[in-house]
Chain A
Amino acid sequence: MKRGFTLLAIATALLLSFALYAALVIAPTEQTMGNVQRIFYYHVPSAWVAFELFLINFVASVFYLIRRSTKADILALVSAEVGVVFCTVVLITGPIWARPVWGIWWTWDLRLTLTLVLWLIYVSYLVLRRFSTSSQTPLLAAVLAVFGALDVPLVYFSIWFFRTQHPAPVIGGGGSLDPRMGWVLLYNWIAFMCLAWLVCWTRYRLEVAQRAVHESEAMQSLMEGAR
């Protein structure tokens, strides 16, 4: 277990440094956008990883509702936390790219709005977990995660219709992708997946340890009370 963790950490470090090199040096410079386009190698993998983590959160929450397993609950918590971090990266790198290329920081386009709404839903999930005083926090959180997942298709259709009625200002890119760019994107995606996995793993171990500490503290105060 511990060895696997070290191996993963080393692999992630190597992959991330290679992916950085690939994104900055190997990948060809985009013709019209220039070097600004390179942020795409961080923006897109972060978005994919964030969505994968939100999916894991949903699956773990459903599993928790069925089996009431503590592991599923911790997995749901961890994936939501790390997912929100990656989603924040997406929401920050997006405008940095959009400003020079589109000339605007933000537009209420389908994908942007959907990502923002997802971020809002998962932040509210984390707020609930933080503020809940009940011993049933995992249950309430799992219910909220299911509600959030039900909401996603509705958000998608509403924004899709909202935006097709009023045309979006600019849709960037289009056309074919240079194969080298595709490879670099793939490396970055794998590197980011490893990073997310590593962070989730660390956070998982931390949460398990924290819960064990809380439990032993509660036991201790019970024992002292009994004396």
Chain B
Amino acid sequence: MSFFAITRATLTKDIRLEWRSKDAINAMLFFSLLVVVIFSFAFDPTAEESRRIAGGLVWVAFLFAAIVALNQTWARELRNQVLDAYRVSPAPATPLFIAKAVGNFMFVAVLEALMTPLFVAFYKLRALGPAWQLLPIAVLGTWALVVNGTFFAAMSLRTRAREIMLPLLLFPLSIPALLGMVNATTAVLTGESSPTFWIALLVAYDVVFTTACLLMFDAVLEAE
């Protein structure tokens, strides 16, 4: 099978599984809904205040919710030794990683698309800067979370307390990406500064870590 065929086969399988069970997406949606409601009670912000804090709130909610999808990425493959079968098959590891990362990206993107209107309504948000810039920020930011998340989920497979291990590994390394997403979003919402630097930082983060993940995934998958 070609590189592309393996990627597509894994990706369609994952999407079909998710489409039929809707496990991850339901859990993520409900979780981020709870975050929206609880933060709204906790801060009770005016429109002006919420413009300043919304960038942080939105991304923290998405980050925590994304952990749900990321954790089940590989756990699903442990049942019936699917991952072992993949390991002994002649298929290379890279397309598997790309398929998993793209799959996670799609799940988190769907979550974001569904949750954003709620955030806008609950926090009375209206961007004072150019709102279209939020789209590249969302794409780059989500990829930044998902690419390292998928990688570290594979790494934490072979640890005790697997589910708690992923955030412990992922969050410290994601600090620059989070700073980038939150500040870029706040810059667009308040319209006070330009998000250009933060978008460039996200691009650099994505390029560096996508390359590192692709280069080192082989070693991590083979590790047993």
Which residues of A approach B to under 8 Å, CB–CB? Answer: 65, 117, 120-121, 123-124, 127-128, 131-136, 139-140, 143-144, 146-148, 150-151, 154-155, 157-159, 161-162, 165
Contacts and interface: CB of A to CB of B under 8 A. Distances in A.
A150 B205 CA distance: 9
Contacts of B15: none
Interface residues of B, number: 33
Contacts of B125: none
20 contacts: A117-B175, A121-B172, A124-B173, A128-B155, A128-B169, A131-B161, A133-B158, A133-B160, A134-B159, A134-B224, A136-B224, A139-B220, A143-B220, A144-B155, A147-B173, A148-B173, A150-B209, A154-B204, A154-B208, A161-B198
A154 B205 contact: yes
Contacts of B176: 151, 154-155, 157-158
Interface in B190-224: 193, 197-198, 201, 204-205, 208-209, 212, 216, 219-220, 223-224
B159 A133 contact: yes
Q: Binding site of B, secondary structure by majority: helix, strand, loop or mixed? A: helix
Contacts of A157: 176, 201
B101 to A, nearest CB: 15
Contacts of B224: 134-136
Nearest to A161: B197
Interface string B145-184: 0001000000110111100010011011101110110010
What does DSSP make chain A's interface, helix, strand, loop or mixed? Answer: helix
Given A128-B169, A162-B183, A147 B209 contact: yes
A151 B158 contact: no
Nearest to A141: B155
Given A134-B158, A136-B223, A139-B219, A158 B173 contact: no
Q: Which 10 A-B pairs have the closest CB atoms?
A: A136-B223, A134-B158, A154-B176, A120-B172, A158-B176, A131-B159, A158-B179, A121-B172, A132-B159, A124-B172
Contacts of A117: 172, 175
Contacts of B209: 147, 150
Contacts of B198: 161
Given A120-B175, A143-B219, A146-B212, 17 more contacts: A65-B219, A120-B172, A123-B172, A131-B165, A133-B159, A134-B223, A139-B219, A140-B223, A143-B216, A148-B173, A154-B177, A155-B175, A155-B176, A157-B176, A158-B201, A161-B198, A162-B183
